[in-house]
Amino acid sequence: MLFQCIRRVTDPVESREMIEDESTGSSLWMWQNQRIQRLTVTPSPIHKVSKVGTYRNLSVHEPSDWILFETSPNFESILTATVKSGYERAVVVRDKGLEDGVERVIFGRNLTDFQVKMTFFDALWWAMGTEKTFQLDRFVQVDIDDVFVGAQGTRIVEEDVRILIQSQKSFGKYVENFRFMLGFSGSYFRNGDDSEDRGDEFLVEKAPEFVWFPHMWRHNHAHEHNFTYLEAIMTQNRIFAKNMNLPVDYPYAIAPQHDGVFPVHEQMFDAWKKVWNVSVTATEEYPHFKPPTARKGFIHSEIHVLPRQTCGLYTHTQRFDEYPDGFDKVIQSIQGGDLFFTILFNPISIFMTHQQNYAHDRLALYTFENLFRFLKCWTTIRLKWQDPVSSAKLYFQKFPEERIPLWTNPCTDPRHRAILPPSFNCTRKTLPDLLILGPQKTGSTALGSFLTLHPNVTQNTPVPGSFEEVQFFGGKNYLRGVEWYMSNFPNTSTVIFEKSATYFDNPSAAKQAATLIPHAKLIVILQNPSQRAYSWFQHLLAHKDPTAVSSGSLLSILENSTTSSELKVKQRCLSGGKYVHHLDKWLEHFSLQHIHFVDADELKREPAKVLFTISKWLDLPDFEFDAHIRFSESKGFSCRLIEGKTKCLGESKGRKYEPMTDELKRKLDETFQLDNSALFKFLRKNRLQIPEWLEEAVRVTA
Ligand SMILES: Nc1ncnc2c1ncn2[C@@H]1O[C@H](COP(=O)(O)OS(=O)(=O)O)[C@@H](OP(=O)(O)O)[C@H]1O
């Protein structure tokens, strides 16, 4: 409620309490504990989806707990109640802002009533200023899965098919171009009694009336099979479709029980593409079956996965009186309940139904006819059908942020674990416990190599093409999926870590890492950002980066960058050093207790001490790092001692180059001044060790 400070007076006519807002001095008056008889959507610029002029009479059993507003030239009703005495008052009022210059929409009640709820969303869209761009089109697709699957006595017969065709035509009144989409597993064709077999035959005779899409040959669970087998059974289904002249016009398929779509079974995706050229599917499982309102889409391996909705009907719901919890639940869901709002909120709704819902009492036809009618009656939205390829295009245009999936750990979710291919071995540890985030050029390789000296610690197997790093989160490898990520880690019970110095300043890495490995610990190395930038520039020179080479110096890049390649070099040199800026992202997803900071200078100076602290933090048994790390005079850095031999990092780590000029150092220190001071404050506030270089940097600029 907007109003907190109120004055009560008693209305002599209705003996109800009238309340005046004193907190703002507003002249809005309201009535408490009202019973209302009718609700009418009043003309107003705010209504977008609610159809103006529609009204409904409320039952006498409705509670008398409504708060109503008195309208006036300053406050106009946008949803009007008629009360017993015949007076009209506002359930939702628009404050035109004439008193204090602020326009508002004020609700006197919670959002349980669907008209109030619709008005609330209209008001939200209005407040966000979306009224001009607001789209009223809603695309609806009704899939009838398993048109041939079902036990005898549950299946459709010829008459059901006739009614289905009629309904498809009559639904066209509400949904432009409406077509039912029929999913088939050919092996079950003519698997019923005589009348049901005739039903199947008739459906195939009438095949061109519908849009068809494949499941498997039988009701196969994809996760149980490899590519070869999946290819074979899909091909069988394809031959069936060809022999029966089923028009499979769109590259759309549905996996039985969504098995193989999420968690992704790569081999099913490959077989789909090879046999059916599939580019669109839908699932209820991403990111998870529950809650249905949070379902999303994603694109993987060029297949567009759209979210799929349930409509309260399942294979066992064939008759009105058998509906679990009573059929009233479905009616409530249609009449301003979940089903109604599913269509309202989603630009594209793909509903799953089954053949059985169109047999016997034909509950699906009842449900959708009433749902479409109800929507048509109460809203201004335009219901349409379009093919799944167009829907996928539209969906990912509207929600581009959903294109890249957010991988979860299927092994920790019983529902997902049950449909995992055997290649996902959840009995062994497959994901890292620790990430060394970098940033780049801070000594992350040295730290990782020293850490592997501990017998209870293992690193990922080296990945070719990315300096041995996995570079999964926030990078191209992320698109290769969880199974690929897991394949980089050995089967071991020790602490597993990977270091990808690209993670720290990547904008997507924190969220992706937290979604897959929420309990992982993280290490961040704090290197003087000026030194880090210079080291990165040396790295570019060593790799003969044309922009770095032609610029002549980092100073020139900092001062004169204009071209996009120069700006990119500049950004790459500077970005990683903006510690607090990037840390904010990681701290959105991980607690500070999960993050350990290493001073890069200390790592160079006293690596064994740094490693000792880390092993304590990781709860590892004591290990004498001292005895396994030696300083190499020729390298100028500490190296591992393995079987008596000094093993230093390669030439690209600990390069020999001229030190920074004073001028460049000044310029860089100046550039990082604010970032350094933010890092200093952050560490001090959280009682974390402040590196000497940072103390110095802040002192100099203070
Ligand atoms: N023990 C040891 N051996 C070799 N190098 C060491 C060591 N400790 C820290 N360093 C410093 O590490 C810098 C390279 O950092 P990274 O490994 O994080 O670089 S990378 O981003 O992974 O390429 C590298 O930067 P450059 O000196 O510019 O080559 C080193 O300064």
Tell me the C-alpha distance between 34 and 70, whole Å: 12
For residue 13, what pLDDT is reported? Answer: 47
Residue 92 Cα to ligand 1 middle (Å):
64
For residue 329, what pLDDT is reported? Answer: 87
Specify the ligand 1 atom closest to the Cα of 539: 28
Q: Is 501 in the pocket of ligand 1 (CB under 6 A)?
A: yes
Nearest to 380 by CA among 54, 144, 624: 54
Nearest to 285 by CA among 352, 234, 236: 352
For residue 381, what pLDDT is reported? Answer: 96
In DSSP terms, which residues pair with 141 in a beta bridge? 350
Which DSSP letter does residue 699 get? H
Nearest to 208 by CA among 190, 184, 182: 182
CB distance 270 to 301 below 8 Å? yes
In DSSP terms, which residues pair with 180 in a beta bridge? 142
Residue 181 Cα to ligand 1 middle (Å):
59
Domains annotated for the chain, with CATH where assigned, are 6-128 (no CATH), 137-402 (3.20.20.370), 428-666 (3.40.50.300)
Q: Is 522 in the pocket of ligand 1 (CB under 6 A)?
A: no
Nearest to 293 by CA among 327, 337, 252, 354: 337
For residue 4, what pLDDT is reported? Answer: 29
CB distance 506 to 575 below 8 Å? no
For residue 320, what pLDDT is reported? Answer: 81
Q: Is 446 in the pocket of ligand 1 (CB under 6 A)?
A: yes
Burial (Cβ within 10 Å: 0-12, 13-18, ≥19) of residue 92: buried
Tell me the C-alpha distance between 565 and 560, whole Å: 12
Ligand 1: residue whose CA is nearest its atom 21: 440
In DSSP terms, which residues pair with 181 in a beta bridge? 143, 211
Specify the ligand 1 atom closest to the Cα of 648: 3
For residue 84, what pLDDT is reported? Answer: 86
Best of 601, 605, 635, 653 for a ligand 1 pocket test (most atoms within 8 Å of beta carbon): 653
Residue 647 Cα to ligand 1 middle (Å):
15
For residue 18, what pLDDT is reported? Answer: 52
Q: Is 630 in the pocket of ligand 1 (CB under 6 A)?
A: no
Specify the ligand 1 atom closest to the Cα of 535: 28
Question: What is the rounded (10 degree) CA torsion for 211, 214, 217, 221?
Answer: -140
Helix%, strand%, coil% for the chain, nearest 5: 40, 20, 40
Q: Is 640 in the pocket of ligand 1 (CB under 6 A)?
A: no
Specify the ligand 1 atom closest to the Cα of 639: 1
Nearest to 222 by CA among 263, 186, 250, 184: 263
Whether residue 656 is annotated as binding a ligand: the answer is yes
Residue 654 Cα to ligand 1 middle (Å):
5
3-state secondary structure 166-194: HHHHHHCCCEECCCEEEEECHHHCCCCCH
Nearest to 69 by CA among 57, 79, 59: 79
Residue 62 Cα to ligand 1 middle (Å):
72
Whether residue 579 is annotated as binding a ligand: the answer is no
Q: Is 654 in the pocket of ligand 1 (CB under 6 A)?
A: yes
Nearest to 512 by CA among 574, 588, 568, 564: 588
Whether ipTM exceeds 0.90? yes
- CA 644, 650, 655, 656 dihedral sign is positive
Burial (Cβ within 10 Å: 0-12, 13-18, ≥19) of residue 328: exposed
Specify the ligand 1 atom closest to the Cα of 443: 12
Specify the ligand 1 atom closest to the Cα of 525: 18
Whether residue 654 is annotated as binding a ligand: the answer is yes
For residue 24, what pLDDT is reported? Answer: 56
Q: Is 441 in the pocket of ligand 1 (CB under 6 A)?
A: yes
Residue 511 Cα to ligand 1 middle (Å):
27
Which DSSP letter does residue 313 get? -
Ligand 1: residue whose CA is nearest its atom 25: 654
Burial (Cβ within 10 Å: 0-12, 13-18, ≥19) of residue 43: exposed
Residue 649 Cα to ligand 1 middle (Å):
9
Residue 532 Cα to ligand 1 middle (Å):
10
Nearest to 531 by CA among 682, 674, 676, 651: 676
Whether residue 615 is annotated as binding a ligand: the answer is no
Q: Is 223 in the pocket of ligand 1 (CB under 6 A)?
A: no
In DSSP terms, which residues pair with 556 in a beta bridge? none
Q: How many helices (H) and strands (E) does the chain have?
A: 23, 27
Please report which helix (H) or strand (E) contains residue 495, including its range: strand 495-499
Ligand 1: residue whose CA is nearest its atom 28: 535
Side chain identity at residue 25, one-letter code? G
Nearest to 367 by CA among 420, 314, 296, 431: 314
E strands, 262-415, are: 280-283, 298-300, 303-307, 309-310, 348-354, 382-384
Burial (Cβ within 10 Å: 0-12, 13-18, ≥19) of residue 310: middle
CB distance 664 to 534 below 8 Å? yes
Q: Is 531 in the pocket of ligand 1 (CB under 6 A)?
A: no
Q: Is 638 in the pocket of ligand 1 (CB under 6 A)?
A: yes
The alpha carbons of the chain give a radius of gyration, in whole angstroms, of 33
What global pTM score does this model have?
Answer: 0.90
Specify the ligand 1 atom closest to the Cα of 444: 18
Whether residue 653 is annotated as binding a ligand: the answer is yes
Best of 436, 442, 445 for a ligand 1 pocket test (most atoms within 8 Å of beta carbon): 445
Tell me the C-alpha distance between 288 and 499, whole Å: 29
Whether residue 480 is annotated as binding a ligand: the answer is no
Q: What does the block give as tokens for 316?
A: 């066992």
Nearest to 584 by CA among 510, 529, 677: 510
- Catalytic residue set: 441
Tell me the C-alpha distance between 503 and 439, whole Å: 7
Tell me the C-alpha distance between 375 and 329, whole Å: 17
Successive 10-residue mean pLDDT values, the chain, 702 residues: 35 49 69 93 94 94 90 94 92 91 90 94 88 86 95 96 98 98 97 97 98 94 95 98 98 93 95 98 94 94 95 80 82 92 95 94 95 96 98 97 96 92 83 96 98 97 90 96 93 93 97 97 98 97 96 94 96 97 98 98 98 97 97 97 94 95 97 97 97 94 72
Q: Is 655 in the pocket of ligand 1 (CB under 6 A)?
A: yes
Q: What does the block give as tokens for 335?
A: 């009449």
Within a 13 Å sphere around the CA of 605, how many CA atoms are in the beta-carbon half? 9
Residue 502 Cα to ligand 1 middle (Å):
14
Q: Is 653 in the pocket of ligand 1 (CB under 6 A)?
A: yes
Place of tokens 């550039």: 671
Tell me the C-alpha distance between 299 and 392, whole Å: 10
SS3 478: helix
Tell me the C-alpha distance between 433 and 296, whole Å: 28
Tell me the C-alpha distance between 254 and 283, whole Å: 8
Judged by phi (left if over 0) then psi (alpha if -120 to 50, else beta), residue 670 lies in alpha
Burial (Cβ within 10 Å: 0-12, 13-18, ≥19) of residue 382: middle
Specify the ligand 1 atom closest to the Cα of 447: 8
Which DSSP letter does residue 670 get? H
Q: What does the block give as tokens for 442?
A: 């801070």
